[in-house]
Structure 1
Amino acid sequence: MVVSPDMVIEAEVTLKLRINVSKDAAVVHQIDVGSSPVLGEVRVPDSVAADLDAVLNCSKTVMDAVVDSPRSKYLPCIRSGSHSEIGPRRSMDDEHIRIDDLSAHAGSSNFCRPSAFYAVFDGHGGPEAAAYVKRNAESLFIKGVFVPEASTIDESFLKQLESWYREAFFQADDALRTEPSVSHSCGTTALIALILGRHLLVANAGDCRAVLCRKGTAVDMSEDHRCSYLPERERVEKFGDDVIVDGYLKDKLAVTRALGDWEMKLPVGSDSPLIAEPDIQQAILTEEDEFLIIACDGIWDKMSSQYAVSLVRQALRRHDDPHQCAAELVADALRLNTPDNVTAIVVCLSSSPPPPCPPLEQRPGGPILSGEALRKLRSSLEGN
């Protein structure tokens, strides 16, 4: 949540559910914690806890909710690396952009420090659409953004920035319609990530994905726009029962949002199940945010967000090289037999490698359990 700079409230809220192992019968204790939203404790018999032996994982934490404030002094220290491979495909249709310092790149003071821009474009129907969007990315996605001081970023500015990027995706989509070098059967997914001071904005249309590592836990900053994603499926099915065929849009596309593909969007102005409108998510970065992974579906088809975060985190602790991390992430996707081109960007938000995962807090009565374990526990208790 973001508040304007004239507000001075700072808050950090952590939600925890603690399970203590006891030989007593299962009893639910309600704890009065005043204004702190901490859930109560559930005591369970040893027999129930014994069934939950696989739930201890230091990356299974609850994400803190942070209220921004002018008094916050944290700023990320940005460095990044990237890697791409053609994989088993006949052509390389992926493109990506990596700019760690927008001020230096633009040669002006239009951007606060730090400021950075990253993008992945995953083409289909040929490489032309992705290549065109990359060539014109500066005019489409960078020019027009003006942030002289990080301290001027407030709620009003962030809303304007979100609207600006939504319009930028529409303009990029229309540019592909009128570009003679790009066939109307050609298109591309697009995911961009913009860092301004401690503010992160991710805009996505398609099935590339951005994942933030927060204290070892994967936090998805985008959703995969596919027919398997329920909100997209419900939106698309409004166009008819025959729009989705075997999980593909019009028996052709695996994605429900993309730039280009104008043979599916014409005539101009008509409603189409395939749209270019991006989903936009924002976050305020804190000291707990270690790095960001941005990658095409060639990565995510073969690994979960948490798997990728754990792999990169371990690699950073070994050699602290984001370029090598991206290469290892790509190599692992190829080892898992991804059928696609593979592109990954790793953006470190600190000058140091991630710290060791903190040891599990052993409290009297037993360990803290994960969300998955809690669901199993509730099911077990309800069964009794």
Structure 2
Amino acid sequence: CPIFFTGKSDLPHKPKPIRYEEQNAMTIFFHDCGGAMGAFLDKPKTEKHNSHGEGNGLRYGLSSMQGWRVEMEDAHTAVLGLPAPGMTDWSFFAVYDGHAGSKVANYCSKHLLEHIITATSGCPAVEAVKAGIRTGFLRIDEHMRSFSDLRNGMDRSGSTAVGILLSPDHFFFINCGDSRAVLYRNSNVCFSTLDHKPCNPRERERIQNAGGSVMIQRVNGSLAVSRALGDYDYKCVDGKGPTEQLVSPEPEVFVMVRAPEQDQFVILACDGIWDVMSNEELCEFVKSRLEVCDDLERVCNEVVDTCLHKGSRDNMSVVLVCLPNAPQVSEEAVRKEAELNKYLETRVEGEMNRAPVQCPHVVCRSEVKKFAQAAKRNMSAVFQNKLNWQAASMERVNGKRNSR
């Protein structure tokens, strides 16, 4: 199916414009993404898993897609109202980015929260919750080590984890690995978790103290993250505790006081998203889409589609948590969206009349500032309908010729 995308980032392969280019307007490319080798599929799997919900004064939507990878190794958690006394007005969201398999990510998505709740002992005090989160991570990591396939090395999977625990008064941002969470407040990126990479000075020091090395920005030249759940091949140094190993399961926990009149939304995503969009780019994109659409699943789908066509070759997962002060649908934004749809439809049809092609991928890169953040899902259908109409017309013409 055709693909329609607006943006300014480089494409995975450099396409050539077909007919012409208009300054300060738009260049239309017919782009063949080509095949893939090794750990990648010949074409991406674009089917999506979606979910949404509402409660505790917030709304959420999520989307995940396998993309070019041969296996879907991402997982996620979304819980409105924690199953613990005194915590029914708390919520928990997390994204897990698995590697070398999906076992650890899938198990954590189902059981990490219960380990955290047990470790907090039902105490909602800030320091107790922080300690409970840390203990919960260490306990689930030690528990999974007892699984036979993980213990004997038949399964060598691991997973990052990024999450947010929301109480009525606080955000508890949780990170272990290189997935990321951001808070959008007062129309600015107010906070972002820090990626745990082997080349970070603190991480490098721990790795070297455990007898390892950092080569090509990887642990022992192999693993690209320095903290993760699972990955037990990197957690077997004698005389070192669980947080002193080559790869640590210890999360960083950041606590922020909520500002109900200013907080707008939180985004959790794996590195398949962040590899091609910066914190600011993604937040501005989400803000612009919320101004024309209040369907959070759809907004998340547009994020995933956009990242795929900006060149992401990884699994992609994103969770969007909208807070009471989130952007609302704007009549002005909807009007501009309609104008852009009409303009693009005219441009695409004009280009098709000049240079019809078979089964193209269409990539439109806007240089118009006022349209720079627009996502154009529906124009794919417009373009596909045009192709289908042309194909049907040719069949009718050929049929008449053959009947003579």
TM-score for both structures, normalised by structure 2? 0.62
Alignment of 1:350-361 (within 5 A): 350=324, 353-354=327-328
* Structure 1 residues 223-242: aligned runs within 5 Å: 223-239=194-210
Matched, 1:177 2:145: yes
Amino acid at match of 1:338: S
Within a 5 Å distance, the mapping from 1:99-114 to structure 2 comes to: 99-102=79-82, 106=83, 109-113=85-89
Residue type of the partner of 2:180?
R
Task: Measure how far apart 1:219 and its partner are.
Answer: 2.7
Q: Residue 230 of structure 1: CA displacement?
A: 3.9
Inter-CA distance 328–295: structure 2 relative to 1 (3 Å threshold): same
- Write out per-residue CA displacement over residues 324-364 of structure 1, whole angstroms, 9 at most, x where no aligned residue: 221111111111111210000000011753598xxxxxxxx
Match of 1:87 in 2: 67
Distance 1:76 1:131 in 2: 26
SS in 2 for 1:121: strand
Shift in CA distance, 325/230, structure 1 to aligned 2, threshold 3 Å: farther
How do 1:248-267 and structure 2 match up within 5 A? 248-267=218-237
Find the partner of 1:215 among 186, 210, 213: 186
Structure 2 CA distance for partners of 1:134 and 1:141, relative to 1, 3 Å: same
Tell me what 1:135 maps to: 110
- Please say if residues 56 and 80 of structure 2, whose CA atoms lie closer than 8 Å, have aligned partners that are also in contact: no
Residues 207 and 224 in structure 1, CA contact (< 8 A), matched pair in contact too: yes
CA distance in 1, matches of 2:157, 2:221: 15
Deviation at 1:99, TM superposition (A): 1.5
Partner Cα separation in structure 2 for residue 138 and residue 159 of structure 1: 17
> Cα offset for 1:140?
1.8
Matched-pair identity in %: 30
* Conservation of the 8 A alpha-carbon contact between 2:263 and 2:326: no
Give the gaps of 5 or more residues in structure 1: 1-74, 357-384
Counterparts in 2 of 1:355 and 1:315: CA distance versus 1, 3 Å: closer
Distance 1:214 1:109 in 2: 30
The residue that corresponds to 2:217 in the other structure is: 247
Partners of 1:303 and 1:253 in 2: how far apart? Answer: 22
> Where in structure 2 are the equivalents of 1:184-223 lying within 5 Å?
185-223=156-194
The alpha-carbon distance between structure 1 residues 268 and 237, as it changes in their structure 2 partners (threshold 3 A), is closer
Q: How much has 1:211 moved relative to structure 2?
A: 0.2
> Secondary structure of the residue that 2:69 maps to in structure 1?
coil
Match of 1:304 among 278, 289, 295: 278
- Secondary structure of 1:165's counterpart equals helix
More helix by share: 2
Alpha-carbon distance in structure 1 between the residues aligned to 2:303 and 2:276: 11
Q: CA deviation at 1:202?
A: 1.3
Residue 203 of structure 1: CA displacement? 1.5
Match of 1:328 among 298, 302, 313: 302
User: In 2, are the aligned partners of 1:78 and 1:351 still within 8 Å (CA)?
Assistant: no
- For 2:64 and 2:105, the matched residues in 1 are separated by 14
CA RMSD of aligned residues (A): 2.4
Aligned-partner SS, 1:120: strand
Give the whole-Å Cα distance in 2 for the aligned partners of 1:278 and 1:136: 16
SS in structure 2 of the partner of residue 136 of structure 1: helix
User: What is the letter of the counterpart of residue 270 of structure 2?
Assistant: C
Give the residue type in structure 1 aligned to 2:143: A
- 2:163–2:173 contact (8 Å) kept in structure 1: yes
Q: Give, in whole Å, the separation in 1 of the partners of 2:253 and 2:232.
A: 23
Contact 1:111/1:146 (8 A) holds in 2: no
**Please, what TM-score do these two structures have when normalized by structure 1?**
0.65
How far, CA to CA, are the matches of 2:233 and 2:146 in structure 1?
12
Letter in 1 for 2:173: V
Residues 190-238 of structure 1 show CA distances to partners (whole Å, capped at 9, x for unaligned) of: 1221001021101111011000001111133411001243432344344
Distance verdict in 2 for CA 1:342–1:131, change over 3 Å: same
Q: SS in structure 1 opposite 2:67?
A: coil
| Counterpart residue number, 2:268 | 294
Q: 1:318 and 1:231, CA in 2 relative to 1: closer, same or farther beyond 3 A?
A: farther
Cross-structure match for 2:255? 282
- Shift of the 268–163 alpha-carbon distance from structure 1 to 2, 3 Å rule, reads farther
- CA 314–79 in structure 1, closer or farther in 2 if over 3 Å, else same: same
How far residue 145 of structure 1 moved from its aligned partner, in angstroms, is 4.5
Q: Does 1:313 align with 2:284?
A: no
CA shift digits 1:37-93 (9 cap, x unpaired)? xxxxxxxxxxxxxxxxxxxxxxxxxxxxxxxxxxxxxx9721100000001100000
1:164 aligns with 2:132: yes
Structure 2, unaligned runs of 5 or more: 1-54, 331-404
Deviation of 1:171 after TM superposition, in Å, equals 0.6
CA–CA distance in structure 2, aligned partners of residues 213 and 234 of structure 1: 32
